[in-house]
Amino acid sequence: MQQLVTKHKYYYYKTIKGLGLLLGGLLCGVTLLGVLHGYATATEIYGISEKSLGLYKGSGLLFEWRVKEARELVDRLNRESPNDPDVRGLEARVLFFEGRYAEARAVMERNRMTGSFPELVATTDDATRNMRTHRSDHFVISWADPRDEILVEPALEGLEKARVAVLRDLGFEPEAPVRVEIYPSVSQFTSVSTLTRKEVRTSGTIGLCKFNRLMIASPRATLHGYGWRDTLSHEYLHLAIYHLSRGRAPIWVHEGIAKYLEGSWRGAYGDLSPSSEALLSRRMSEGTLISLETMSPSVAKLESAEDTQLAFAEVATMMTFLVETKGLEALQALAEAIGDGRDDREALEAVWGDSFAAYDARWRSWVRTQPLGKGEYQILPLALADEAEESEDPSAIPDREAENFVRLGDLLRERGRVHAAAVEYQKAYEQSPSLAGVASRYIWGQMAIGRYQESVAASDAALMIYPELGVLWGRKGMALLELERYSEAMEALRALMEINPFHIPGRRALLVAARHAGETSEAQRQEWALSLLEKETAHPPL
Amino acid sequence: MDYASILVSRVRTVRRLAAWRRGMAFASAFTAALALALIPFFTLPARVSESFRVWSAVIVLAVSPVILLGVYAALRRFRRPRLSMSAAAGLLSSGRPDLKDLVVSGSDLSRWGPQTTSERGASLSLVQAQVRMAAEAARQLEPSRALPAGELTPWVILLAGSVCFAAAFLIADPYGALTGWRAVVRALRPSPITFNSARYTLSPPAYTGLPETVIEDVSGSLRALPGTRVSVESLLSGKVERGVVLPEGGDPIEGTVQSDREFRVAWILGKSGEYRFEFFRSGALLPLGFTPEPFEMLPDHPPEATLVTPEADLEILKDAVVQVSFRAEDDFGIERAEVVLRGDKEVRLPVRMEPGRTTEGSVQILPLRYEGLGEGAHLSVTVWDNDSVAGAKAGSTRSVYLSFIDRRKIVETIENLEERLFESLVLYLGDHLEHREGEQTGMTRLRDGAEDLLRLMSELLRNQQMELVLESPPSLALISIKTSLEVVLRPFIDGSDDRGPIIPELERDILLLDRLLRNLNMEKALGLGEEISALQRSLFDELQSGTDPRRMQSLLNRIMELMSRMNQMLARERESMPEEFVNADAVRDMPKSDLQEALERLQKALKSGNSEEARKAAEELLAQMSSWLSALEDAARAASEGTSGMMLEDMSELEQDLGELMKGQEGLLNETRELSARESGPSAEMDRAAFQQMMKRLESRLDAVAENVRQNEARIPRHQMGWHMKPETNQAQRSLEYFEKRRRFNEALSETRQNLRSDPARSQDMIPYLEGAYRDVYAEFNARSEEASESVKQNLKQGEAAGQKQIEAFREELEGLFGKSSSEISEEVRRQLAGLGEKQQGLEEKTGEFGSKLRKTLKNLPFLPPNVPGMADQAQDAMGEASGQLKAADRPGALQSENRALEGLSGIARELQQAKKKMQGGASGESGFRMVQKPGGPGSQGQDVDRSHVEIPEEMEARELKGFREDVMRAMREGKYPRNYEKDVESYYEQLIK
């Protein structure tokens, strides 16, 4: 009997244990299923509504510029809660990211949404409402001013090449066509970009990648133009880095990679202008580099054009150094590591294989070994067309003696005394040949008195220092044209167009050179562009 | 035949006679009674006493009833009542009783007419027959017989007798009769009325604040202010029923009479004069027993006001605030005051002040606020007193004239001037730069161009109104440019082919003018800002003081218009403003939208008349505008200071370098002196007193030599000396040469004297120089006295010999004291002197470098005259000489050269100082190139302006200056340095800039 009882007790406990396990398993399974099933079940457990979670998720997707997923989510939320104001708000944001500004605005107005974001949407809608659009396979370009149409073809060409390069170098390809907006003026650009005019002027930030699209101010909005195709490529790179890093990359990574690769569409990597090199060299020796923290949240917010240029030089060389030591793939790895959740230092350390401090030290040493320019080169700030003088020669002349001569030359030139002006410009050049404004004027002066060879030689010398200064290319081109060296002239003038495509005399010269060189298609292109530029309101078909 | 009429006529005749006789009798009786009673009464009182008069009155009273009885009797006697027709008919027929009835009845019937006859029922024919019979009967009767005349005789006699009686009295004493008559009349008249215990109460008008005055014993005229309430209370001497006061030419003023004799009246005094009293009783005017005192008006004087500020006429900028203050006093009180501006229109501005007898008030006015005043306005203050009676009287202060200087006009004027000049300079520079060497026509053209340029400059400077701005650095710069251009262009115009200095000078001047013009444009923009600011403050103040917002619209419109202009100017003319200014954030980032918003808000509030909202909006706009304008001012200041700051920096650097050179030179000079002193000392054998005596003697020898030269100099004819000749003339050249020799003599003498006092032995070294200089001076004397008389020549000769003797004696005595001259110096000293020579040479090289730096920097220093590098060259040359002399152990020579070098460097230091002063501003003391200074400086409240003129050098003066300077420069190059000339040049510049 006792045994029977013991045996029964044994089986009893066993059964109980088994049942308990079964129940526990069932519970776990149910819970697991619930978790695997999705947030809905989890939210029911934790008391958060599905809608709230959806909105949260939607915002998160938008933050990462995962617009397609955000669209799917908001469509679902709309089906579930069609008239919910929060859902409508999310939808408005998605619409904005999709570039459907008018619809976004309408949704916001209907829902009486107020604040800075609705204002931005309204401003953007106003600025883009009358833009014309052209699509390629991967890009959608919009522009407002008819004259900016001349940028479209070259822009697309550059962007497509950039896309190929970025795919190759960073492994990124956008899911949908990328929107590119060309704003006709700095005012419009700043109104949609959250930058201030002062920031644009000081930092030279004339392009932006934000809200899943690329924005630039037309080169027409600046006095001397700028390397706008490189800028488009640069902004496209920001798009890529943003996606790769899921919006988490700090500014130095963004700018470093973008700066390093911005010329990749044309086969150039890690290009730095001589003035940037000299600046980096000098500031490094002075111990006044810009820290990575100071660069945040944006280089556009730095105090001066010099600081901005230095910041770019620093981060670009950091990437150059990284690539040289770890290969080009290190860039992608860095961005993705950040996208995976690591902070920037950790990510770099993971790629570099050592501490950040070690990397920094090695980089500095490496910079010191580089053959950087050491001269007193001038930083050329961005001159906005609507607030600067009409002269295309840079106005800032930091050397007083040279400035005086330049001023005298300008005064004589304004009064048609070109020979006299040339004399004064020569005096300035003898004083300070490495200053951009001096060199450009000297070159003009030499041309004015028919000394084209000297003009070309001086241009070459100046372009060694300031390859980004369009006026030098233009004058070189025209001097070469006078010397009947048409192919070289075309090369120089094409370089001018890369910087200032709205330079009408330069275009005319390019047209002449192309005709003389027998380059018919080029000549036709220039004829078309000139007809557009000179008519201003023409809308010839592409 | 009308028998009734005949009958009636007869009866009426009787009636008339009867009445006449009655009247006659009555008149006789009355006359007699009167004559008898009254004549004595009339006449006697003249001779008798008063008591008799009384008795006479009694008698008359007693006699009167008798007379009256007599009259009554007479009346009774002849009292026949007016006879009726019947009675008259009866009397007519009294002599024929038989006809009485017929006549009586007939007269009665004669008055019946047909109607009465018919009414009475009588027969008309019977009545007519009766009447006829009565008439015929009456014809027989005589009326005169009915009344015999004899009855009148006694009465006629009585009448005649009383008339004779009266006549006798009157003839006997006509005067007495007259007097008596008067007495009777007087007695019949009522008694004059007088005041017993009259009381005058004078209550001045309330506005005077004066107390009431009560006068009880009035004597003399009464004095009171117009508007004084006069009340009179009095007890009268007689009864009256009514009393009035009659002002002269005015309406009567009724008084009140109580208890027949208490009289009261009151009136407001309006004017001076008599105020007569009239009293009435029973409607009759009573005589007045007194003459009321006249009233004399006291004047209420108009107030007097004195203008405290402004003290005199002012020239002010229209956007300047003028402080107006005044004092006023009045005999009773000042009620209100106004500032009056009379220009093309009149503006009156009330002034807040405390009313009172004396008061002060002040207010700030902004002329800009009042459009239409024109180019100036007379300013005065008018005050009103508180006279509420005659009306407030006004008093005004003297007026001062405010001339409004339109800042913009001044700036425009200067700008025009400078632009014209600027253009000419630039084009002329172009001409020079483009000129091909060797091209003669080009040179001619350039020379003509130079002339034109100088002419233009003179003309422009002369013709423009520059008084206000001549104190400012830009104006001084213009004058400086003119002077410098003269110096470099004149030789070229005169034929020199050297264009070397021209281009740098043109470049320098163009750059300076360019800076000035840019600053001018900047000033124009800022000037608008200041006007806006002033108007805004005015608007805000007016809103604060409660002015109706709707009336502020025009002011706001002006502000908006000015802001728009300023905006346009900053946007469109930025290339003609200093770069530092246009690149400043305040200019680039003009808060247009914020300001526009604030303006619109204000406009809305003003239109709606919402004062509170308008005030807030105005305050906000004012704050924003002030902040932005302040940032603009900072940018402008930075731009100006940047320009001038660089110049000042250059100058400071030069000054520093120069300071080191001077220090070095001075050190060398002292060392040289020290070395010289070491080699000599007084003889140990001579005692102190004797030594002193010897020194005195030596000193007197030097005095004698000086006097000798002075006296003989006076002998030379003036014209031979070439005093005050123009620098270009040959005579002047000669005089220059003489001056140089004279200077050297003076120097040698002075040095010798100095050495004698400080280091007597060393003075021996100076003797050769003194001798040499002395001989040179006399050589000049001799050369210039060729035309002089023989006696003059003889005197000169003797004088020369005498002086020479003195010098010889001087030498001998010194040698006797110290032994031979210290020309034999020790080797040690020679070595040390050679060492100093090396140092001097080093300093010479540094001075050369300094001169090059000066030349290079000259372009940036417009206030530095172009000859300053030349001065450095001179100093360098002197140093070179000193170096050689030191190495040759020529101490005196070295000392002289070292001194000359030091003087040269000092001259440069002075020029730098002056240039710095000019740079650093005029009246305001602000640095930079601010053009139009507010009179008295920034923040001025409209003070007087120094309107003294500055002499602008004329062409002639410039040419003189040029010649002047040429001589100086040539002399300096030759190692001669006429000290006087240097001072003259210096003082010329000083005069120029004062």
Contact yes or no for B274/B288 (Cβ under 8 A): no
Give the chain B residue whose CA is nearest to the CA of A395. Answer: B579
Distance (Å) of CA A168 to CA A264, A328, B122? 10, 10, 176
Amino acid at B130: Q
List b or e across A12-40, with b for residues whose CB sees 16 or more CB atoms inside 10 angstroms: eeeeeeeeeeeeeeeeeeeeeeeeeeebe
Cis ω on the peptide bond leading into residue B302 (within 30° of 0)? no
pLDDT over 60 at A539, yes or no: no
| Chain A, chain B: beta-carbon pairs less than 8 Å apart | 54
Identify the pLDDT of residue A416. Answer: 94
| Percent of all residues in chain B with a pLDDT value above 90, rounded to a whole number | 20
B334 - beta bridge partners?
Answer: B356, B385
Identify the pLDDT of residue A424. Answer: 97
Q: How confident is the model at residue B975 (pLDDT cuts 50, 70, 90)?
A: very low
Q: Which of B423, B433, B446, B653 to probe by mutation at the A interface, max A CB count within 10 Å?
A: B433
pLDDT digits (tens, 9 = 90+) for B442-456: 888 999 999 999 888
Q: Which residue in the set A387, A400, A412 is minimally distant from B646, CB to CB?
A: A400
pTM, two decimal places? 0.60
Lowest-pLDDT range of A100-114, B116-130, B585-599:
B585-599
B348 - beta bridge partners?
Answer: B340
pLDDT over 50 at A251, yes or no: yes
Q: Residue A225 CA to chain centroid, in angstroms?
A: 16
Q: In whole numbers, what is the pLDDT of chain B averaged over residues?
A: 79
Identify the pLDDT of residue B370. Answer: 84
Q: How confident is the model at residue B961 (pLDDT cuts 50, 70, 90)?
A: very low
Average pLDDT over residues B675-699: 69
What secondary structure letter does DSSP report for B890? Answer: -
Between the two ends of chain A, the Cα-to-Cα distance in Å is 103
Q: How confident is the model at residue B855 (pLDDT cuts 50, 70, 90)?
A: confident
Q: Which two tokens stand for residue B253?
A: 């003023």
A450–chain B nearest CA distance, Å: 15
Report the 10 Å Cβ neighbour count for B201.
16
Higher pLDDT, B918 or A409: A409
A460 and chain B in contact, CB less than 8 A:
no
Q: Do domains B191-297 and B309-405 have the same CATH topology?
A: yes
Q: How many angstroms separate the CA atoms of B756 and B247, rounded?
A: 106
Cβ neighbors of A493 (< 8 A, separation 6 or more) are A473, A474, A477, A478, A506, A507, A509, A510, A513
Q: How many angstroms separate the CA atoms of B929 and B514, rounded?
A: 12
Identify the pLDDT of residue B475. Answer: 63
Lowest-pLDDT range of A376-390, B136-150, B417-431:
A376-390
Identify the pLDDT of residue B937. Answer: 36
Higher pLDDT, A412 or B640: A412
Identify the pLDDT of residue B478. Answer: 74
Give the CATH superfamily of A139-369: Neutral Protease Domain 2 (1.10.390.10)
pLDDT over 50 at B936, yes or no: no
Count CA atoms closer than 13 A to B582's CA, side-chain side: 23
A103–chain B nearest CA distance, Å: 28
Q: Which two tokens stand for residue B70?
A: 């007599």
- In terms of DSSP bridges, do strands B253-254 and B376-385 run parallel, antiparallel, or are they unpaired? unpaired
| Percent of all residues in chain B with a pLDDT value above 70, rounded to a whole number | 78
Tokens 């010194």 locate to B814
CB-CB neighbors (< 8 A) of B574 in chain A: 387, 389
Q: Which of A404, A405, A426 to probe by mutation at the B interface, max B CB count within 10 Å?
A: A404
Q: How many angstroms separate the CA atoms of B307 and B705, rounded?
A: 68
* Pairwise CB contact (< 8 Å): B510 & A408: yes
CB-CB neighbors (< 8 A) of B856 in chain A: 401
Residues 398-437 of A with CB under 8 A from B: 400-401, 404, 407-408, 411-412, 415, 417, 419-420, 423-424
pLDDT digits (tens, 9 = 90+) for B351-407: 888 888 999 998 888 888 887 888 889 999 999 999 888 889 999 999 999 988 776
Burial of B300: CB neighbours in 10 Å, binned 0-12, 13-18, 19+: buried
Identify the pLDDT of residue A105. Answer: 94
- In terms of DSSP bridges, do strands B242-247 and B275-281 run parallel, antiparallel, or are they unpaired? antiparallel
Tokens 């170096």 locate to B883
Identify the pLDDT of residue B643. Answer: 65
Q: Which two tokens stand for residue A332?
A: 């992608």
Identify the pLDDT of residue B80. Answer: 54
CA geometry: angle B746, B751, B756, nearest 5 deg? 125
pLDDT digits (tens, 9 = 90+) for B803-845: 999 999 998 888 776 654 445 567 888 899 999 999 999 999 9
pLDDT over 50 at B331, yes or no: yes
Give the chain B residue whose CA is nearest to the CA of A413. Answer: B430
Task: For residue B349, give the 3-state DSSP assignment.
Answer: strand
Amino acid at B700: S
pLDDT over 90 at B89, yes or no: no
**Could you tell me which of B622, B633, B626, B620 has the C-alpha nearest to residue B587?**
B633
Q: How would DSSP label each residue in A20-88?
A: HHHHHHHHHHHHHHHHHH-HHHHHHHHT--HHHHHHHHHHHHHHTT-HHHHHHHHHHHHHHSTT-HHHH
pLDDT digits (tens, 9 = 90+) for A477-501: 999 999 999 999 999 999 999 999 9
* Pairwise CB contact (< 8 Å): B646 & A412: no
Identify the pLDDT of residue B253. Answer: 92
Identify the pLDDT of residue B476. Answer: 64
Give the chain B residue whose CA is nearest to the CA of A198. Answer: B589
Identify the pLDDT of residue B962. Answer: 44
Query: Which alpha helices (DSSP H) does A245-372 contain, by range?
Result: 251-261, 274-286, 292-295, 305-326, 329-339, 344-352, 356-369
Higher pLDDT, B542 or A387: B542
Residues 79-118 of A with CB under 8 A from B: none
Identify the pLDDT of residue A5. Answer: 52
Give domain limits for chain B: 3-186, 191-297, 309-405, 523-642, 649-676+828-916, 680-824
Q: How confident is the model at residue B62 (pLDDT cuts 50, 70, 90)?
A: confident
pLDDT over 70 at B564, yes or no: yes
Amino acid at B561: E
A133 - beta bridge partners?
Answer: A142
**Could you tell me which of B664, B656, B644 has the C-alpha nearest to residue B909?**
B656
Q: Which CATH architecture has domain B309-405?
A: Sandwich (2.60)
CB-CB neighbors (< 8 A) of A389 in chain B: 574-575
pLDDT digits (tens, 9 = 90+) for B735-788: 667 777 888 888 888 888 888 887 776 677 788 889 999 999 999 888 888 877
Identify the pLDDT of residue B762. Answer: 67
CA geometry: angle B141, B142, B144, nearest 5 deg? 150
Identify the pLDDT of residue A476. Answer: 96
Identify the pLDDT of residue A262. Answer: 94
Higher pLDDT, B87 or B506: B506
pLDDT digits (tens, 9 = 90+) for B294-329: 888 888 889 999 999 999 888 887 778 889 999 999
* Pairwise CB contact (< 8 Å): B430 & A424: no
Identify the pLDDT of residue A33. Answer: 55
Angle, in degrees to the nearest 10, between helices A101-110 and A116-128: 140
| CATH code for the part of the protein at B523-642 | 1.20.120
Identify the pLDDT of residue B780. Answer: 87
B346 - beta bridge partners?
Answer: B342
pLDDT digits (tens, 9 = 90+) for B210-229: 999 998 877 778 888 989 99
Report the 10 Å Cβ neighbour count for B58.
10
Residues 205-234 of A with CB under 8 A from B: none
Higher pLDDT, A524 or A20: A524
Identify the pLDDT of residue B368. Answer: 80
Burial of B231: CB neighbours in 10 Å, binned 0-12, 13-18, 19+: middle
pLDDT digits (tens, 9 = 90+) for A7-50: 566 666 667 667 766 765 665 555 555 544 444 454 555 666 77
Lowest-pLDDT range of A294-308, B41-55, B506-520:
B41-55
Q: How many angstroms separate the CA atoms of B292 and B253, rounded?
A: 15
A417–chain B nearest CA distance, Å: 6
pLDDT digits (tens, 9 = 90+) for A290-299: 888 888 777 7
Identify the pLDDT of residue A541. Answer: 29
* Pairwise CB contact (< 8 Å): A404 & B511: yes
A248–chain B nearest CA distance, Å: 33
* Pairwise CB contact (< 8 Å): B511 & A390: no
Q: Which two tokens stand for residue B60?
A: 């008359």
pLDDT over 70 at A187, yes or no: yes
* Pairwise CB contact (< 8 Å): B433 & A419: yes
| Length of chain A counted residue by residue | 542
Q: Does domain A50-128 have CATH number 1.25.40.10?
A: yes
CB-CB neighbors (< 8 A) of B423 in chain A: 415
What secondary structure letter does DSSP report for B273? Answer: B
* Pairwise CB contact (< 8 Å): B430 & A395: no
CB-CB neighbors (< 8 A) of B859 in chain A: 401, 404
Give the chain B residue whose CA is nearest to the CA of A197. Answer: B589
Lowest-pLDDT range of A155-169, B8-22, B733-747, B967-981:
B967-981
A37 and chain B in contact, CB less than 8 A:
no
Higher pLDDT, A164 or A34: A164
pLDDT over 80 at B37, yes or no: no
Cβ neighbors of A481 (< 8 A, separation 6 or more) are A489, A509, A512, A513
B860–chain A nearest CA distance, Å: 9
Task: For residue B433, give the 3-state DSSP assignment.
Answer: helix
**Could you tell me which of B716, B723, B721, B776 has the C-alpha nearest to residue B746?**
B776
pLDDT digits (tens, 9 = 90+) for B465-495: 444 444 455 566 677 788 888 888 988 999 8
**Could you tell me which of A487, A489, A499 has the C-alpha nearest to residue A455?**
A489
Identify the pLDDT of residue B691. Answer: 77
Q: Does domain A400-535 have CATH number 3.40.50.300?
A: no
B433–chain A nearest CA distance, Å: 5
Q: How many angstroms separate the CA atoms of B47 and B42, rounded?
A: 10
Q: How confident is the model at residue B463 (pLDDT cuts 50, 70, 90)?
A: low
CATH of B191-297, one of 2.70.98, 2.60.40, 3.90.1410, 3.10.110: 2.60.40
CB-CB neighbors (< 8 A) of A198 in chain B: 585, 588-589
pLDDT digits (tens, 9 = 90+) for B133-188: 988 888 888 877 777 767 778 778 878 887 887 788 778 777 766 766 666 666 56
pLDDT digits (tens, 9 = 90+) for A331-351: 999 999 999 999 899 999 999
A507 and chain B in contact, CB less than 8 A:
no
Q: Residue B977 — φ and ψ, nearest 5°? A: -140, 90
**Could you tell me which of B230, B168, B222, B239 has the C-alpha nearest to residue B202?**
B230
CATH topology of domain B649-676+828-916: Four Helix Bundle (Hemerythrin (Met), subunit A) (1.20.120)
Identify the pLDDT of residue A28. Answer: 52
Q: Which residue in the set B429, B575, B589 is minimally distant from A389, CB to CB?
A: B575
pLDDT digits (tens, 9 = 90+) for B651-664: 888 999 999 999 99
Identify the pLDDT of residue A30. Answer: 56
Q: How confident is the model at residue A364 (pLDDT cuts 50, 70, 90)?
A: very high
pLDDT digits (tens, 9 = 90+) for B252-282: 999 999 988 899 999 998 888 888 899 998 8
Contact yes or no for A489/A138 (Cβ under 8 A): no
Report the 10 Å Cβ neighbour count for B196.
11
Higher pLDDT, B488 or B64: B488
* Pairwise CB contact (< 8 Å): A404 & B579: no
Identify the pLDDT of residue B464. Answer: 52
Identify the pLDDT of residue A198. Answer: 80
| Sign of the C-alpha dihedral computed for residues A146, A150, A156 and A162 taken in this order | negative
